[in-house]
Amino acid sequence: MQMNGGQALIKSLEMEGVEVIFGLPGGAILPVYDPIIDSPIRHVLVRHEQGAGHMAEGYAHVTGRPGVAMVTSGPAATNIVTPLADAFMDSVPMVVITGQVGSASIGTDAFQEVDTVGITRSITKHNELVTDAADIPRVIREAFHIATTGRPGPVLVDIPKDIVDPTNPRSAMEWYWPETVDLPGYRPTTVGHHRKIREAAELIGRSRRPVIYAGGGILKARAAEALRELAELTGIHVVTTLMARGAFPDSHELALGMPGMHGTYTAITAMQESDLLIALGSRFDDRVTGKLDGFAPDAKIIHVDIDPAELGKVRRPDVPIVGDCRLVIEELVGVLREMGGAESQPDRSEWRSRISGWQERFPLTYEPSEPGELLKPQYVLEQLRDAPTTPEDTIVISGVGQHQMWTSQYWRFDHPYTWVNSGGLGTMGFSVPAAIGAKVGRPDRTVWAIDGDGCFQMTAQELVTAAAERIPVKVAILNNAYLGMVRQWQEMFYEERYSEVYLSPDLPDYKMWAEAMGCVGMRVESPEEVPAAIEKANSINDRPVVIDFRTDAREKVFPMVPAGATNSQVVVDPTQQGQAR
Residue 488 belongs to domain with CATH number: 3.40.50.970
- Name the domain count of the chain: 3
CB–CB of 157/96 below 8 Å?
yes
Considering the domain architecture, whether residues 310 and 342 belong to the same structural domain is answered as yes
CB–CB of 8/173 below 8 Å?
yes
Mean pLDDT of 313-319: 97
Percent of the chain with pLDDT over 70: 100
- Of 114, 125, 86, which Cα lies nearest the Cα of 26? 114
pLDDT at 175: 98
- Pairing of β 319-322 and β 300-305: parallel
Considering the domain architecture, whether residues 88 and 213 belong to the same structural domain is answered as no
Considering the domain architecture, whether residues 469 and 510 belong to the same structural domain is answered as yes
pLDDT at 495: 96
pLDDT at 460: 98
Dist CA 31 CA 9 (whole Å): 10
CB–CB of 227/280 below 8 Å?
yes
Considering the domain architecture, whether residues 201 and 327 belong to the same structural domain is answered as yes
Q: Please, what is the end-to-end C-alpha distance for the chain in angstroms? A: 73
The phi, psi pair for 366, rounded to 5°, reads -160, 160
CB–CB of 56/22 below 8 Å?
yes
Domain boundary residue, one of 337, 362, 387:
362
371 assigned to some structural domain = no
- The pLDDT tens digits for 453-477 are 999 999 999 999 999 999 999 999 9
Mean pLDDT of 426-451: 98
561 assigned to some structural domain = no
Residues labelled catalytic: 49, 111-112, 161, 485
Domain boundary residue, one of 318, 333, 362:
362
Amino acid (one-letter) located at 208:
R
579 assigned to some structural domain = no
Alpha-carbon separation of residue 563 from 421, 489, 566 (angstroms): 21, 10, 8
Considering the domain architecture, whether residues 434 and 295 belong to the same structural domain is answered as no
Dist CA 552 CA 550 (whole Å): 7
Dist CA 570 CA 109 (whole Å): 53
Which positions ≥6 away from 42 have C-beta within 8 Å?
19, 20, 21, 440
Dist CA 405 CA 259 (whole Å): 11
Considering the domain architecture, whether residues 356 and 384 belong to the same structural domain is answered as no
At how many degrees (to 10) do helices 402-410 and 484-493 cross? Answer: 100
Considering the domain architecture, whether residues 160 and 230 belong to the same structural domain is answered as no
pLDDT at 578: 86
Length of the chain: 581
pLDDT higher than threshold 90 for residue 579: no
* Residue 455 lies in domain: 377-550
Residue 269 belongs to domain with CATH number: 3.40.50.1220
pLDDT at 403: 98
pLDDT at 97: 98
pLDDT higher than threshold 90 for residue 561: yes
The phi, psi pair for 319, rounded to 5°, reads -130, 95
295 assigned to some structural domain = yes
180 assigned to some structural domain = no
Considering the domain architecture, whether residues 273 and 339 belong to the same structural domain is answered as yes
577 assigned to some structural domain = no
CB–CB of 3/26 below 8 Å?
no
Considering the domain architecture, whether residues 383 and 352 belong to the same structural domain is answered as no
- The pLDDT tens digits for 482-513 are 999 999 999 999 999 999 999 999 999 999 99
Considering the domain architecture, whether residues 397 and 295 belong to the same structural domain is answered as no
135 assigned to some structural domain = yes
pLDDT at 580: 84
Considering the domain architecture, whether residues 324 and 281 belong to the same structural domain is answered as yes
189 assigned to some structural domain = no
pLDDT higher than threshold 90 for residue 24: yes
Considering the domain architecture, whether residues 436 and 320 belong to the same structural domain is answered as no
Q: What is the CA radius of gyration of the chain?
A: 25
Looking at every residue in the chain, the average pLDDT score rounds to 97
- The pLDDT tens digits for 238-261 are 999 999 999 999 999 999 999 999
Dist CA 16 CA 144 (whole Å): 8
pLDDT at 541: 97
pLDDT at 581: 83
Handedness of CA 286, 289, 290, 295 (dihedral sign): negative
